[in-house]
Chains A and B, each alone.
Chain A
Amino acid sequence: MLTFTVRRLLYGVLLLFVIVTLAYLLLYAAAGNVARTILGPTATQATVALKNKQLGLNTPLISRYFSWLGHALTGNFGSSWFTNQAVTTAILTRLTVTLTLVFGAVIVSAVLSAVLGVWAALRGGWVDRFIQVFTVLGFAIPGFIIAVFLVRFFALGTHWFKPTGYVPLTTSFSGWVSTVTLPVIALSIGLVAGVAQQVRSSVIDALRQDWVRTLRSRGVSERSVLFKHVLRNAGGPALSVLALSFVGLLGGAVIIEEVFGIPGLGQVAVLATSEGDVPLVMGLVVAIGVIVILVNLAIDLLQGFLNPKARIS
């Protein structure tokens, strides 16, 4: 397992190097005249030239790249060209916000999927059909449409929640709840739909197994059969789907944060990319790349833990 972990980590570092190199080159190809973007149409050509020099854009691309890489290896990602904030500070202050939404969505999805999936599998009939329709709708409707609907009805209509912004948990619990609930729901619905279907199928499969009939014939209670045996067996595949969705949720958060005006990684990623804020975008590429690599590694290890057949020694 240790060899496997080390090998995956080394592979991750190599992958990250390739990603950042490509991202750096693509960014400069698409960035245009960054100094002009920063200064706007009113600035004179002389001021724009001075700004370009100040940003180091008068040196060759290759030397800029190696200079950036050298600093990045020491943990110095520079400062945003558009806000002058240190890139590490900009990312760390927003990372907690985005992770709050993503973890919130994973937890809500796990609970609701388990409830709905098990309920559909056990009750069948109209409950099953209703949940099936719900999951299809959950798949079909994009998260941002759900987000707009939630803002219109539950923020602007009922005033139960805030339509925009984010209040940290450390500032106010009720404020935090009123700002994260709708984004978490908007992020969760698609995921709930997918995982609930997985739970339903797995539970139905498990309930048909001989060992369940054996347990029942031995007088084991239905509650014990479900919680101790069936769910444990059915939970593996659902957990895999949920874990793999974590990375997808990071992408989904980009749109959701835009709709709700939440100062997370997604919002800053959209703005920084459209402006050509190279230091900030590169910091984001590294941060998100590291998260994706670590999550994938964690999934591999988790699958190995749950299913010995999946272990690679």
Chain B
Amino acid sequence: MFRRKWPGVAAGAALALLGPLVLGGCGSSSSSSSTLTLGVITPATTFEATDMNWGNESPYNQAVYDSLVQASPTGVIEPHLATAWSYNAAKTVLTMTLRTGVKFTDGTPFNASVAAENLEAFQKGTSNNASDLAYMASATAVSPTKLVIRLKQPDPAFLTYLGEAAGSQESPKAWKSPTASTVPVGSGPYLLDPKATVVGSSYVFTANPNYWDKAEQHYSKIVMTVYTTPTTVLDAVEGGQVNAANTFDDTTIPQIKDAGFTVYPLQLNWAGLSLFDRSGKMSGPLGKVKVRQAINDAFDRTALLKDMSDGYGSVTTQVFPTNSPGYESSLNSYYSFNPAKARKLLAEAGYPHGFTLAMPSITTAFGETTYALIQAELAQIGIKVAYTDYQGSTIFTAILAPKYPATYFTLEEDPVPWQLAQFLLTPTATFNPFHSTSPTVAGYLNTMQTGSSAQAAAAAKALNQYLVQNAWFAPFFRPQSSFVADSHTSVRVQAGNAVPYLWNIEPKP
């Protein structure tokens, strides 16, 4: 008798189990207009202002901290906690007038002494941008609202840095707190809710009720959810679990568009070869301009863009981004795919049979195909590439040691020319491991550093021309990265940053 009842019992059990599940599913809905759910691709390393990173981690910083100045979406520096500023004639003393009446969320008032201490602490901290304040000699409060910053030498990017992590203002009481890294105390538009936050996975912020600039506070609550794979970002987008999100790559862009999201394309990096050894210390051939030019002529950039980035991005032979004063559109195609010309240049340089070029690889990051393509294209002109593969960050140690005369990498393109120069071009730049320079380059850099805006822009353009002609690099293309937002969310992307600034993400009316 019980035999016949089993299916009935099973069905009843299944219904009992599925009932609440279906109800639970029906209860799901997208976020309300006063809640922003933002998909991010990296957790916050820390909430301690002196150690905070920028770039992908900038939304965490901007939620809880105010900076001294702010950058507009195009990079123009605007007032924030500092309402006015001026440089002396030598551009080595910056005097800032600070806003009054601003308090941190623990009640401590913001003033020039606090600002000076914050700057000095950041300079000594371990943020990946700690070197932003490398040129700062001192920061002094001459009155509660007057801050004087002395520089060792002019720094045309200094104000830009003060609008990023380096200018973030944290309550002095928090500096001595053992919870400073997980419980931030700033004066920013939102407060971190530590109880609702799962560190590393989901960060919940509520509006700061006493925030001084309500116009920048678009939501009553912001949830930043960390996604660790392109698939989970896509699932969250398609499932309506985020209002806006940063993405890992372009492989899911068609599906994201199908889900009704708007894709905001950004070009933040350039991909290609850095030909570091321009004086031929480690690799004699690379010391010759014709060899470096031959390398540039060896690459079919359009095919590389298609094969390495699914066609998302734009080909180029320069390292200056389109929004930089140093950018020159004609330099996107200064070199063209011409193996015959490349072989001729190599022969003229004394290498008719090519040579062997040692380079590091990190196939776990860029894939086997990338390196195989580069190897194949250089082989066409007789250059044999010998790779040594690295795992994780050890490749940076090898590159910067320097252990290799050249490398493939995707490197950032800063819109401020001096920022780019400090990263790639000055003799002490991080990615100039052989400290390459020349009187011409030094002259342009000096004008960029000390000249007027117009002179600096002209020098940046001339330097760009020089770098391309002398083949300091062999850029392939600027890969596209994408920020995406749903139909309820308005976004203004930020020049030079992977994520729009938080106040530029708002609900559509």
Contacts and interface: CB of A to CB of B under 8 A. Distances in A.
A144 B312 CA distance: 29
A71 to B, nearest CB: 16
A271 B235 contact: no
Given A32-B391, A85-B200, A268-B200, A50 B126 contact: yes
Interface in B414-459: 423, 430-431
A37 B392 contact: yes
B400 A45 contact: yes
A271 B28 contact: no
Contacts of B229: 258, 261
A34 interface: yes
Contact of A82 (B43, B131, B201, B412): B43
Interface stretch (B45-53, B110-118, B339-347): B45-53
B21 A181 contact: yes
A115 interface: yes
Interface in A171-229: 173-178, 181, 222-223, 226
Contact of A164 (B23, B53, B235, B430): B235
B44 interface: yes
A90 interface: yes
Given A41-B430, A162-B241, A47 B126 contact: yes
A263 B200 contact: yes
Contact of A259 (B23, B231, B409): B231
A240 interface: no
Contact of A47 (B26, B131, B202, B236): B131
A119 B24 contact: no
Nearest to B239: A163
B386 to A, nearest CB: 22
B120 interface: no
Nearest to A151: B235
Interface string B231-257: 110011011010000000000000000
A3 interface: no
A276 B130 contact: no
A47 B241 contact: no
A160 interface: yes
Contacts of B393: 32-34, 36-37
Interface residues of B, number: 62
Interface string B41-68: 0011111100001010000000000000
Interface string A79-94: 1101111000110011
A19 interface: no
A151 to B, nearest CB: 6
Nearest to B399: A41
B2 A222 contact: yes
B182 interface: yes
Given A36-B396, A156-B235, A161-B25, A263 B411 contact: no
Contacts, number: 187
A173 B2 CA distance: 34
A115 B13 contact: yes
B227 interface: yes
Interface string B1-30: 111001001100100000011111111100
A33 B44 CA distance: 19
Contacts of B391: 30, 32
A115 B430 contact: no
B23 A174 contact: yes
Given A83-B44, A178-B25, A261-B227, A40 B128 contact: yes
A165 B241 contact: yes
A310 interface: no
Contacts of B202: 165, 263
A98 to B, nearest CB: 13
Contact of B235 (A46, A51, A122, A261): A261
A156 B201 contact: no
A263 B43 CA distance: 12
Contacts of A39: 53, 126-128
B330 interface: no
Nearest to B364: A274
Contacts of B45: 38, 82-84
B397 interface: yes
A267 B201 contact: yes
Given A84-B48, A119-B6, A174 B396 contact: no
Contacts of A93: 198-199
B46 A84 contact: yes
A58 interface: no
B228 interface: yes
A122 B1 CA distance: 12
B54 to A, nearest CB: 9
A19 B423 CA distance: 43
B53 A40 contact: yes
Interface in A44-84: 44-47, 50-51, 54, 79-80, 82-84
B313 to A, nearest CB: 19
Nearest to A182: B21
B129 interface: yes
B20 A222 contact: no
A42 interface: yes
A115 B44 contact: no
A155 B24 CA distance: 12
Interface string A263-276: 10001101100001
A123 B228 CA distance: 47
A159 interface: yes
A244 interface: no
B217 interface: no
A291 interface: no
Contact of A177 (B10, B24, B227, B423): B24
A178 B392 contact: no
Most-contacted residue by chain B among A30, A40, A222 (CB, 10 A): A40
B131 A51 contact: no
B126 A177 contact: no
6 contacts: A39-B53, A47-B131, A83-B44, A160-B21, A160-B22, A177-B24
Give me the 7 closest cross-chain CB pairs, A-B, nearest first.
A160-B25, A263-B201, A84-B181, A174-B24, A177-B24, A163-B239, A36-B393
